[in-house]
Amino acid sequence: MSGFDAIYCYPGTHILINRLGLLDADQLDLVERRIVVQRLAEGPPSGDFDLAHLRAIHRHLFQDIYDWAGELREVEIAKGGHGFMPRRFIATGMFDVHDRIVRADGLRGLDAEGFARAAGEIIGDVNHIHPFREGNGRTQIEYLRQLAARGGHAIDVRRLNGERWYAASRAAHLADYAPMAAAIGTAIVSPRPDRP
């Protein structure tokens, strides 16, 4: 997905313009991951699971790396031959996601299997919306972790297998949410201690 574009990449490269001035893709990836881990340890902002919340998470995680952290992408993007939601529909798509979460009472009161199934649809759709030029996956994982906590569940993100997650994302892109629900289900470790 890191294809060249004139807005986000250094001229003639596929390397995203970054605040650190890094021009080596591998080095940027390594430094970016370390910084995001540090920002996660600080505790990303909470919110109402709307677009503003998703943007705040992204801004928190990537503020040290990209000037556009938290800003909606200005280009159309695709991965593996599948295009993500056209950018003009990002706000509408997230409005729908937020509305469904609100109508489902924040996914509260569901057992682990029910939560995984409901969250699979939510996260599958957030992935399809793909609001940012880069960093969508890590932002989605934190959004999921917070959504699980609100629903009374704990997520161990180390249990989210990368290949399985990408396959689940591709399936959700075609409205098959079962693989995403299964991936989330494997990451639910136990009910949170404060859950009755």
Domains of the chain plus CATH, in order, are: 43-191 (1.10.3290.10)
The answer to whether residues 55 and 70 touch, using CB atoms and an 8 Å cutoff, is: yes
pLDDT tens digits for range 2-51: 456 889 999 999 999 999 999 999 999 999 999 999 999 999 999 999 99
What is residue 195's predicted lDDT score, i.e. its pLDDT?
A: 44
Q: How far is residue 112's CA from residue 50's CA, in Å, rounded to a whole number?
A: 23
Backbone torsion region of residue 43, taken as left when φ is above 0, otherwise alpha when ψ lies between -120 and 50, otherwise beta: left
The predicted structure's pLDDT at residue 128: 96
b/e map 91-130, b = 16+ CB within 10 Å: eebbeebbeebeebeebeebebeebbbbbbbbbbbbbbbb
Q: What is the pLDDT of residues 165-187, one digit of tens each?
A: 999 999 999 999 999 999 999 99
The verdict on pTM exceeding 0.75 is yes
Tens of pLDDT, residues 93-115:
999 999 999 999 999 999 999 99
**Does residue 192 have a pLDDT over 70?**
no
Is pLDDT at 1 greater than 80 in this prediction?
Answer: no
Three-class SS of residue 96? helix
What element of type H or E holds 83?
strand 82-83
- What is the end-to-end Cα distance of the chain in Å, rounded? 43
Annotate 140-187 with DSSP letters as a single string: HHHHHHHHHHHHTEEE-GGGS-HHHHHHHHHHHHTT--HHHHHHHHHH
Q: Is the pLDDT of residue 196 over 60?
A: no
Mean pLDDT of 50-72: 98
CB of 187 within 8 A of CB of 156? yes
pLDDT band for position 79 (cuts 50, 70, 90): confident
The C-alpha atoms of residue 117 and residue 99 are separated, in whole angstroms, by 17
More confident residue, 194 or 65: 65
Question: Does pLDDT of 125 surpass 90?
Answer: yes
Residue 188 has what DSSP assignment? E
CB 148 within 8 A of CB 154: yes
The pLDDT of residue 191 is: 61
